[in-house]
Structure 1
Amino acid sequence: MRGQRGPGVLARWMVVAALAAAPAPLAPQEVRLEEVNCPGCRLELHRVVELGDAQGPGRLDQTLASWAADSRGRILLASGWQVPVRVFGADGRFAGTIQPTLPGDTLPLSIGLVAVTAGDTVNLVDDLRGLHLVLHADGNLVRTHTPTPLRPASMRLLLPGGRAVGTGTVATRDNVGYPLHLLGPDGAVLRSFGADVAEDVPGQSMDLRKLALAGPDAVWAGHLTRFGIERWTLDGERQAALVRDVPWFAPYTDMRWRPDQAPHPILMALRQDAAGRLWSVVRVADERWRDARPLIADTLLARRNPAAQYDPEELYDTMVEVIDPACGRVLLSRRFPGLIAGFLDDGRMVSWSDRPGAHPRLTVWRVDAAFDGAPACAVGGERPLSQ
C-alpha cells in the first residue's frame, strides 16, 4: 500500500500541531504547527499477512476493539463482545482462543482490551465489569484486579508497574469532569486530570481521548472530534497542547452524520516511536465520498444511524502523519485508502475491513519509512522537549 499525494492535498491533510522550540519546559498554552518540506522523507506500507477466516472458529466478528502481538509472533484480537480472544500465528493461521473463566462467576467476559507486557504476559480488560485479568502466555489466569468504573476498556493505556491511564467519565464528586484517570495496580483511581478545571462535557464520546506513551511519566492524549493533542505528565501537569485550525477538521460536538455532508474526521490512534516522533492515524472523508450509495433500505435503524447504510470504505480514507514534536514540525502526511485502525508496534500497522459480501479481515502492514534530510529545529538544532 503506497501513500498517495495529489495536487493541493497537503493543504487538506490532518496535521497534528506542534511544540515551540524553547530550552525550558513548554508552558501549557496552545502551540501551532509549522509545516516543513522534507523531500527525503517517505512512508510506504507493505502487506504482510491477512487474518480472519471465511468460516469456522477463525472467522472474526464484525467489530474490532483491540489487538496485540507477542514475542513469538502471535497476534491476539479482541472484539469487545462476549466472545473469546482469537489468536493467530505469524503466518495468519488461526491458532486458538483465550477464554478465561472466573470462579463462581457465570457472566461471560466481554474483552475490550488485550495487551501483551513483559514476558508475553497477556492482559485482558473486561468491558462489562472493568475487570483487569492477568494471564500467563499459555492463557492460564494469574490474578485479577479490582473493577474500575471506566468504559470502554479499549481506550485504556497500560503503564509499567501495573498502573494504567484510562479515559472517560468517573462519576464521583472528585473525578467527574476530567477526561484522564491514573489507575493503580488494584484498579483504584489515583488521580483524575486532563483538563485545567473540571468541565461539564456532553456525552457522545466528547470526554474520550486517544492515548499513547510519551516517555516513562507522561502520555499523549488526543481529542477525537477536534484538532488537539496534549502531553500530560502522570502528576496531572499539561506540558503541551498541539493545535491547528484546518477546514477539514472543524470541531464538532454532534457525532451524528447526515448523508448530505462529508463524514466527520476522527482521530483513530497515536503512537510515539523509539526516536521520539509522534505518529497519528486520522480517519478522513474519502475524496469521492459523494459517490457512495446506500447498501440497505431506509429503515428505522438506518435513519437513526445513516452511516450504517454505507460501505465505510467508500466513505473514508485514512491519513497517517509523522510529527517531530520537539521541533513542532510535521515531517510526513500521507493519505491511504481503506480503514487503517492503528499500530501493532513501531514497525507494523493494521487495517480493518468488513465490506458487504466479504468476511471481516484484519491486515498487517510493514511500515517502510525514512526521514532523510528532515530539517533540524529552528534554534541550533536543539530538541526542547525531552522524550
Structure 2
Amino acid sequence: MSHIAPEDICYITLRSIAHTSHPFINLGPTNKMYNATLQSIKSLSAETIQEINDRFKASHPDLHDDWQNFGPAQLAAYVPCIQACEDLPSSSETTIVPIVQSFKYIKLQRLDVSNFQLGKNFDHLLDSLENGDMKCLLLVNLRSTAPSDDQMTRLATHIGEMPELESLDISWNRAESGKTLPILASNLIQCKHLQILYVNNMHAPAEDMLVLAQNLPSHLTLLSIHGNEMNNLVALCLTNTLPASLTTLFISVRHLSADTHRTFMNAISHKLPRLQELRVWDSPYAGDLVQQGGYILLTCTHLDRLVLQSTSDVMVPPESLGIYVNGLRKAIQVTSLSLYGIRLDTDGFRRLVDVCRQKSLQKLQLHRNLLPEGINSVFLEDFIVLA
C-alpha cells in the first residue's frame, strides 16, 4: 500500500473463517459450503443429525456458547465448515496490524470487518482512527468486532475523525452504559453526511437511548436501534425526532404502555412518508401491532417490506386483522410480509393469504407453531415461508 497511488485501494473487507471458539459466521469463504450442506442435511434423520453433533461436541470442548441457541441441523451443517478451516488461526489470533498501519498511505473509503473478532487488534484500529488515517471513510462496518465496551466508547469519542462518513454499523457490540451512545449522540453532529446508522443489539439502557433519540441526525435514511432498552420516554421522544427522510426503520417496542405503543406506531404511519422497510420487534400488544401495521400499509405508500413481531400469544381480534388486510389490499409497493408470534384464527389466516395471492406477494412469512388448526401443506403456496 505504501508504493501505490492513494486512490488505488479504497475498499477493504476482512472476513472470518469458521472456528469453534467463535459464534456463527454467515459471511466469508465458508458461506456457500454452509448453505449447500444445510440443504443436503435435510434428508438425514433427526437421530443421525444428533449423532453428528454429539461426536463433534465431544471432540471440541471449546465450542462457542452461542451454538446452544442454534438448531441441530444448523450446527451439523456448520461442522464441515469448521473442519475445512481447522488448521488456520481464528480472526482474534490473526494480526491485522500491517494492514491498519497502511491506512495512512491510501484514501480508504469503505472498511468492512463485520463479525471479524478483532480482539486486541481493535485497539490498533482505534489508534489509526485517532491518528487521522481514516478521514476519507464513507462506510464503516464493525458489527460484532470489539471485545470490550470501553473500546466502543473510544470509537464514539473519535467518530468526528471520519467527517465524510455516510454509513456506520457498530451493532452487536456491547455499549458501555452511560457512555458509548451518549458520547456517540453528542458527536454525530460532526458527521454531516451520515445517512445509515446501525446501533442495534448493544444492550444500551433506556437513559442512553433517550440521549440518542434526542440527537438523531435529521437526514438519516436508515436507523436500526432494536436490541436496546426501550421505554415510554424514548418512544415519545422518537415520535418527534424520527427523521422524515427515513426509508428503513428497525426498532423494538418492549416495555411500552398500551397508549404509548399506539401513539408511537401512529407516528410512524404519519411522519415517515418515504418508508420502504419497517421491522417492529418485541411488541406485547399483538392486536394493536397488527392494526397499526394496517394503517402503516395504507399511509406509507412506498413500503415494500414489513416485519411485525409480538411476544404475546393472544389471538389477534378479527377487527384488528381486518384493518391490516384492508391496508394490505390498498398497499401499492409491498412485496414481503413477516408476522412472528402473531396468532390468527382460521378465517383470518385465509383472508390474509387470499389477499397475498391476489397481489402476487413475493413472500409471506409466518410462524409454523402459530398456524390455525386445519391448515395443511396443500393450502400453502410457495410464497409462504414457515419460520
**TM-score normalised by structure 2 residue count:** 0.26
Q: Which structure has the higher relative contact order (CA within 8 Å, separation 6+)?
A: 1
| Structure exhibiting the larger radius of gyration computed from Cα positions | 2
Structure that is richer in strand per residue: 1
Give the TM-score of the pair, scaled to structure 1: 0.26
**Going by fraction, where is helix more abundant, 1 or 2?**
2
